[in-house]
Structure 1
Amino acid sequence: MEEIRRCTEELIEAIRKSDVYREYEEARLTLAAHPDLRNTINEFRKRSYEIQNSDSPEDVYEKMEQLERDFYMVRRNDIMNNYLQAELAICRTLQTINQELVGTVDLDILDFADAINW
Structure 2
Amino acid sequence: MSDVVELSKKLNETIKESEFYRNYLTCRERLYEHPDLLRGLNEFKKRNSEIQNRGSVDNPYDEVVALFEEYDSIVHDTIVNDFLRAERKLCRMLKTMYDEIADGLDVDIKQ
Secondary structure class of the residue paired with 1:6: helix
Could you say which structure has the higher helix fraction?
1
Paired residues, number: 111
TM superposition shift of 1:73? 1.2
TM superposition shift of 1:108? 5.2
Paired amino acid for 2:73: M
Does the aligned pair in 1 maintain the 2:41–2:75 contact within 8 Å?
Answer: no
For residues 17 and 71 of structure 1, the distance between their equivalents in structure 2, rounded to whole angstroms, comes to: 33
- Alpha-carbon displacement from aligned partner over 1:36-74 (angstroms, at most 9, x marks no partner): 111011111112222232224632333322221221112
1:107 aligns with 2:107: yes
For the aligned residue pairs, the C-alpha RMSD in angstroms reads 2.0
Structure 2 vs 1, CA of residues 108 and 39 (structure 1 numbering), >3 Å: closer, same or farther?
closer
Unaligned runs of 5+ in 1: none
After TM superposition, list the pairs within 5 Å mapping 1:24-103 onto structure 2. 24-56=24-56, 58-103=58-103
Secondary structure class of the residue paired with 1:105: coil
Identity among equivalent positions (%) equals 35
For residues 95 and 48 of structure 1, the distance between their equivalents in structure 2, rounded to whole angstroms, comes to: 21
